[in-house]
Amino acid sequence: MSCDFFSLATPGVRGLHPYVPGKPVEELERELGIRNIVKLASNENPLGPSPAVVEAIAGAASDSTRYPDGSGFRLKQVMSERFGLESAQITLGNGSNDVLELIARALVTTADEVIFSQHAFAVYPIVTQAVGATAVVTPAREWGHDLEAMAAAISARTKLVFIANPNNPTGTWLSREALVAFLGKVPAHVVVVLDEAYTEYVDNEAFPNGLSLLAEYPNLIVTRTFSKAYGLAGLRIGYAASNPQLADLLNRVRQPFNANCLALAAAEAVLQDAGYLARSVSVNSAGMTQLEAGFASLGLSWIRSVGNFIAVDVGREAGPVYQALLHAGVIVRPVGNYEMPRHLRVSIGLEAENEACLAAFKQVLGR
- Between CA 110 and CA 100 the distance in angstroms is 17
pLDDT of 82: 96
pLDDT of 16: 74
- In CATH, what class is 51-272? alpha beta
pTM, rounded to two decimals: 0.95
pLDDT, one tens digit per residue, over 262-304 is: 999 999 999 999 999 999 999 999 999 999 999 999 999 999 9
pLDDT of 13: 83
Give SS3 for 217.
coil
Q: Start-end ranges of CATH 3.40.640.10 in the chain? A: 51-272
Average pLDDT per consecutive 10 residues, the chain (367 residues; last block may be shorter): 76 78 85 91 97 97 94 97 97 96 97 98 96 97 98 98 98 98 97 98 97 98 98 98 97 93 98 97 98 98 98 97 96 96 98 98 93
pLDDT of 1: 59
pLDDT, one tens digit per residue, over 212-266 is: 999 999 999 999 999 999 999 999 999 999 999 999 999 999 998 999 999 999 9
Specify whether the CB–CB gap between 199 and 164 falls below 8 A.
Answer: no
pLDDT of 71: 94
- Between CA 163 and CA 174 the distance in angstroms is 9
Run of H or E residues at 344: strand 343-347
309 forms bridges with which residues in the sheet?
347
The string over 128-139, giving b where at least 16 C-beta atoms fall within 10 Å of a residue's C-beta and e elsewhere, is: bbbbbbbebbbe
Q: What is the DSSP string of 171-186?
A: -----HHHHHHHHTTS
- In CATH, what class is 20-48+275-365? alpha beta
pLDDT of 95: 95
Q: Start-end ranges of CATH 3.90.1150.10 in the chain? A: 20-48+275-365
Q: What is the DSSP string of 345-365?
A: EEE---HHHHHHHHHHHHHHH
